[in-house]
């Protein structure tokens, strides 16, 4: 087992513990979301468990659907016996563990790396559509007075990033562009939600750099406590709407309704920016200017194109080249991508 895989194995054990607190067992952390017509006796009908991230735009698209009336319009048609539960998770690897444990059916906005590594470990899910594409909205920051001025200066440094997530994959690509092997740096597992901890560690000197979302780091940049030395350009960070294959096969009507809800929600967001900014500012407790700038930096899109399929294939090749995967996922595209529903919704 190589060094990365040992770290990842330890991460899985740790994230299982986190998941029990933040994603699965906490009454306070679980949000039940139904159409307004849903029955109070949900246990007698069909319960659908969907993960979401409470800390970003792509992770709260179903909350936006509720705000803009799209949830009731589409999900309400499923009838009283369908109850959809939105459950917050910390990151993709934790959500994958919940899928494996039979505690989750669908993952909203899962990154490409945890999608592929999850299927390599028997999760058996399929991508149904994209949710967001990013590059410039993920940045590398260091202390404002640091002598690190570009990613090329990171050899031998301790870097915070969400290990096992799509940002981890993208950052390895950034290092590779600058002639730095992963064995020449140290990684500290600090995902998107841990940006505050990362900033504190940079300030104390425990951490040299952090790769994370611009939206969470914008205030520190403005205050001058950190400086930006790069972004994700050339190494796309794409998130996907993903479901268990068993769930898709057993529940095609519900699956299509959820894809339709996402599609209509994103269309509304892209055509009503002012309303979208106001909603996400309140939902995420962000300044409206931050939300507005972020929406200009990213592509919020629900689709599954030939270009997306190529990107997934390239990610798998990258993971194999980096020895994060021992072997490719058998029939990755044929068995683990499904454009049927998004194509039907777009008609």
Residue 302 sits at φ, ψ, to 5 deg, of -110, 105
- For residue 44, the model assigns a pLDDT of 57
Helix 214-223 to helix 288-297 angle (10° resolution) is 120
For residues 64 and 82, what is the distance between their CA atoms, to the nearest angstrom?
20
DSSP state of 23: I
Q: Using one digit for the tens of pLDDT, what is the confidence trace for 14-62?
A: 333 333 333 333 333 444 444 433 333 344 579 999 999 999 999 999 9
Residue extent(s) of CATH 3.40.190.10 domains in the chain? 3-133+238-346, 138-231
pLDDT at 35: 42
What's the pLDDT tens digit per position in 275-288?
A: 999 999 999 999 99
Total count of residues recorded for the chain:
347
**Are 134 and 294 in contact, with CB atoms under 8 Å apart?**
no
* pTM of the predicted model as reported, rounded to 2 decimal places: 0.83
Q: Is the pLDDT of residue 130 over 80?
A: yes
- Specify whether the CB–CB gap between 55 and 192 falls below 8 A: yes
Evaluate whether the domain defined by 3-133+238-346 bears CATH number 3.40.190.10: yes
β-strands 46-52, 82-88 pairing: parallel
DSSP state of 328: P
Residue 8 above 60 pLDDT? no
Choose the CATH number for 138-231 among 1.10.287.470, 3.40.190.10, 2.170.120.12, 3.20.20.370: 3.40.190.10
Could you tell me which of 161, 183, 144, 124 has the C-alpha nearest to residue 332?
124
């Amino acid at each position: 087992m190589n060094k990365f895989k040992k770290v990842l194995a330890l991460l899985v054990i740790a994230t299982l513990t986190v998941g029990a607190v933040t994603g699965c067992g906490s009454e306070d952390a679980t949000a039940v979301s139904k159409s307004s017509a849903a029955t109070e006796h949900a246990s007698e009908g069909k319960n659908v468990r969907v993960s979401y991230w409470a800390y970003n735009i792509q992770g709260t698209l179903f909350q936006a659907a509720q705000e803009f009336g799209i949830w009731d319009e589409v999900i309400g048609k499923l009838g009283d016996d369908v109850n959809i539960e939105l459950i917050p998770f910390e990151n993709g690897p934790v959500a994958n563990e919940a899928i494996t444990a039979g505690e989750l059916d669908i993952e909203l906005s899962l990154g490409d790396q945890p999608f592929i590594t999850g299927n390599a470990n028997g999760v058996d899910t399929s991508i149904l559509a994209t949710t967001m594409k990013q590059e410039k909205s993920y940045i590398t920051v260091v202390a404002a007075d640091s002598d690190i001025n570009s990613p090329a200066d990171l050899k031998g440094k301790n870097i915070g990033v969400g290990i096992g997530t799509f940002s981890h994959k993208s950052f390895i690509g950034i290092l590779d562009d600058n002639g730095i092997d992963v064995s020449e740096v140290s990684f500290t597992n600090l995902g998107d939600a841990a940006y505050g901890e990362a900033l504190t560690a940079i300030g104390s000197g425990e951490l040299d750099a952090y790769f994370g979302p611009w939206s969470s780091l914008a205030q520190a940049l403005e205050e001058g406590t950190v400086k930006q030395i790069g972004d994700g350009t050339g190494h796309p960070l794409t998130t996907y709407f993903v479901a268990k294959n068993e769930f898709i096969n057993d529940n095609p009507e519900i699956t299509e309704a959820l894809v339709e809800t996402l599609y209509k929600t994103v269309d509304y967001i892209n055509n009503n920016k002012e309303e979208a900014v106001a909603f996400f500012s309140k939902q995420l407790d962000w300044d409206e200017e931050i939300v507005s700038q972020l929406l200009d930096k990213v592509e919020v899109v629900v689709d599954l194109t030939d270009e997306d399929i190529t990107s997934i294939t390239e990610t798998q090749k990258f993971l194999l080249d980096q020895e994060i995967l021992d072997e490719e996922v058998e029939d990755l595209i044929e068995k683990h991508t499904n454009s049927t529903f998004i194509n039907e919704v777009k008609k």
